[in-house]
C-alpha cells in the first residue's frame, strides 16, 4: 500500500472578537455560569446591597447575554449554510456523473441491441440453410 501524504489546510485565524464571543457563549452555556451567578446573587443578597443596582445590573447582563448568544447562533447558522452548500455542490456533481454514466450505458445498450439484431438475422439465415440442407 502506498503512503499517502496528508494535506492540512491552513486554518482561518479568528479575530479577538470571535474568540471572545466563543469563550463567553461557551461559559454562559455551562454549569460554571450557573454556579457563578448563584454565588454572585447570594453574596449580593447576604450583604444586602442596593436592590435597584442589582436589578439594573441583571437587566444589563441579560441584554449582553442575549447579544452573545445570538452572535454564537448566527455563527453556527453560517457554518451550517456553508456545509449545506458544499453538500449540494457534491450532490450536483454526483448527479451530473450519474447522468453521464446513464447516457454512456444507454449508448452501449443501443449498440448491443444492434449487434444482437445482426446476430439474430445471421442465425436465422444459418437456420434456413440448415433446414434446406436437411431436406
Model confidence pLDDT, tens digit, residues 63-117: 998 888 888 888 889 989 999 999 999 999 999 999 999 999 999 999 999 999 9
CA distances to 4, 6, 13, 15, 72 from 10, in Å: 19, 13, 9, 15, 23
- Say how far apart CA 71 and CA 77 lie, in whole Å: 10
Q: According to DSSP H, which parts of 1-135 are helical?
A: 16-28, 31-46, 51-134
Binning pLDDT at 50, 70 and 90, where does residue 9 land?
very low
The predicted-structure confidence for 36-64, as pLDDT tens digits, reads as follows: 999 988 998 888 888 888 889 899 999 99
CA distances to 3, 29, 73, 123 from 24, in Å: 43, 9, 13, 82
- Say how far apart CA 2 and CA 4 lie, in whole Å: 6
Instruction: Give me the phi and psi of 4, to 5 degrees please.
Output: -105, 140
Q: Does residue 7 register a pLDDT over 60?
A: no
Number of other CB atoms surrounding residue 72 within 10 Å: 17
Q: Which residue has the higher pLDDT, 85 or 133?
A: 85
Length of the chain: 135
C-alpha cell at 55: 436589578
Structure confidence at residue 1 (pLDDT): 47
DSSP 15: P
Amino acid at each position: 500500500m502506498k503512503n499517502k501524504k496528508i494535506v492540512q489546510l491552513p486554518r482561518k485565524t479568528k479575530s479577538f472578537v470571535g474568540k471572545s464571543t466563543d469563550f463567553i457563549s461557551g461559559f454562559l452555556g455551562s454549569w460554571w455560569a450557573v454556579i457563578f451567578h448563584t454565588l454572585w446573587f447570594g453574596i449580593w443578597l447576604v450583604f444586602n446591597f442596593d436592590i435597584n443596582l442589582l436589578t439594573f445590573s441583571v437587566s444589563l447582563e441579560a441584554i449582553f447575554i442575549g447579544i452573545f448568544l445570538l452572535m454564537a447562533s448566527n455563527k453556527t447558522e453560517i457554518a451550517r449554510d456553508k456545509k449545506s452548500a458544499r453538500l449540494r455542490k457534491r450532490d450536483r456533481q454526483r448527479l451530473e456523473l450519474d447522468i453521464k454514466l446513464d447516457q454512456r450505458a444507454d449508448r452501449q445498450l443501443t449498440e448491443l441491441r444492434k449487434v444482437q439484431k445482426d446476430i439474430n438475422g445471421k442465425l436465422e439465415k444459418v437456420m434456413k440453410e440448415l433446414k434446406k440442407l436437411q431436406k
